[in-house]
Chain A
Amino acid sequence: MNTFKCICLLISLLLFAPMQAQEKKQNPETETEKKPFFQGVGIAVDLGGIGNKLFGGTYMSSEVAAEVNLLNRYMPVVEIGYGVSDMTDEDKNISYKASAPYFRVGMNYNFMHNKDTYSIIYGGLRYGFSSFSFDISAPDLQDPVWGGSTPFHYEGLSCTAQWVEIVAGIRAQIWKNLHMGWAVRYKRLLSYTEHPNADPHYIPGYGVYDNVKFGFTYNIIYYLPLSKKK
């Protein structure tokens, strides 16, 4: 129920913000100032996925994104990355390996589109997809009733997964066309390939398997000097 309320809140944010902007359009000063439709292209790299491994996480991902700025308000975005997990659980002695590319498409909405600033606060939606295979091995299963054991070792279990994300983040200019920002991502798994022997532990682009989870991205963004951002 909390999840539902939260999704409603974020969707309402995306819907209400344009309405506020509509009201402000009636101001004669802003009416005369027509913004160009195409405002530029930004290329972003995510450092959060690399940092995750450095700070003791069980996986690493690297990601680039291309974002088009339309009216300084709508920002369609494509994100392409590569996720790697090669881990062994020391307690259970379970090893898991997966590595594959992933893709996301979606759009950001700049809540500060009518402010004369390079810093932005934005919300957005994403659809994510990854097709990958994973290897998993664990100690033999010991029959507790009659004795005997069965090996547990599987390689190349193929899987596809798709998910949606709600994004909220901020960005600030650090030098000329170079910007920096971070975002939190609320992720919900839509579907994945089920195997009789194992569900995926790590999904590239999504993270460690859970129906709902959070992600964090830390981005460096470069706006291509095709045209002025403002």
Chain B
Amino acid sequence: MRTRTPSPLRHLLAAVVLLSGIAACSDTDCTTSNTAYVNYNIYDANGNSVSLTGPVTVTAAGTDSVLINQESNLQSMQLPLRYTSTEDTFVVHLSEVLFDTIFVTHQNIPHFISMECGTGMYYHIDNARCTRRIFDSISVVNPDINFDANEHIQMYMPAN
């Protein structure tokens, strides 16, 4: 009677088939705009996430750019940085008379992503500060800005 034992050849063929299956799994995931944004979240004095009451407008100081227009219940915001500058200034308006100014100093890092996705601008935040009419303080929790959806800056409201 003939017995069948697993031959090295059959092992080898199985391995090649498996390896080919892994090789076929390749995906490319490019962001649509290749623009990295700074993600801000708003907290109360106890560190709980809160939203700003009333419509919020955010503008870039020195320009007529409106980055956020009359948005209600704002808990977080995504703001861009300028490619050709190392300091950007944003104004957060709750009304015509109640506003705060955010100053962000940063390094601009042109970055090759891949042949499929091209290039994009990354940043490193050196410092962030703000005036204290609406907010109490500002803190950079992750200074490296790329296409990951991380939290970068925390804005704290006053205690009362």
Task: Spell out A's residues near B (CB within 8 Å).
Answer: 2-3, 5-6, 9-10, 13, 16-17, 20, 89, 92, 94, 96, 111-112, 121, 123, 136, 138-139, 141-146, 148-152, 166, 168, 184, 186, 196-199, 201, 209-210, 212-214
Instruction: For A112, list chain B residues within 8 Å (CB).
Output: 8
B83 near A143 with CB under 8 A, answer yes
Query: Which of B8, B35, B109 is A17 in contact with, Cβ under 8 Å?
Result: B8
* Chain B residue nearest to A144 in the complex (CB): B35
Binds A, one of B50-58, B69-77, B92-100, B119-127: B119-127
A196 near B111 with CB under 8 A, answer yes
Query: Which of A89, A136, A150, A198 is B83 in contact with, Cβ under 8 Å?
Result: A150
A92 near B19 with CB under 8 A, answer no
Binds A, one of B9-17, B41-49, B128-136, B152-160: B9-17
Instruction: For B108, list chain A residues within 8 Å (CB).
Output: 150
Determine if B3 is an interface residue (Cβ-Cβ < 8 Å). no
Shortest distance between the CB of B132 and any CB in chain A (Å) = 27
A3 near B22 with CB under 8 A, answer yes
Given A145-B35, A199-B112 in contact, is the A138-B82 Cβ separation under 8 Å?
no
* Chain A residue nearest to B7 in the complex (CB): A111
For chain B, give the interface size range: 35 or more
A198 near B82 with CB under 8 A, answer no
B26 near A210 with CB under 8 A, answer yes
Given A6-B19, A146-B82 in contact, is the A201-B114 Cβ separation under 8 Å?
yes
Name 17 interchain pairs, CB-CB below 8 A, sorted by A: A2-B18, A2-B22, A6-B15, A94-B115, A96-B115, A121-B12, A138-B118, A141-B83, A141-B120, A145-B60, A146-B83, A146-B84, A152-B110, A168-B15, A186-B22, A197-B109, A201-B115
Shortest distance between the CB of A201 and any CB in chain B (Å) = 6
Cα distance, A139 to B119, chains bound together (Å):
9
Instruction: For A142, list chain B residues within 8 Å (CB).
Output: 83
* Chain B residue nearest to A151 in the complex (CB): B110
B83 near A111 with CB under 8 A, answer no
* Chain B residue nearest to A210 in the complex (CB): B26
Instruction: For A96, list chain B residues within 8 Å (CB).
Output: 115
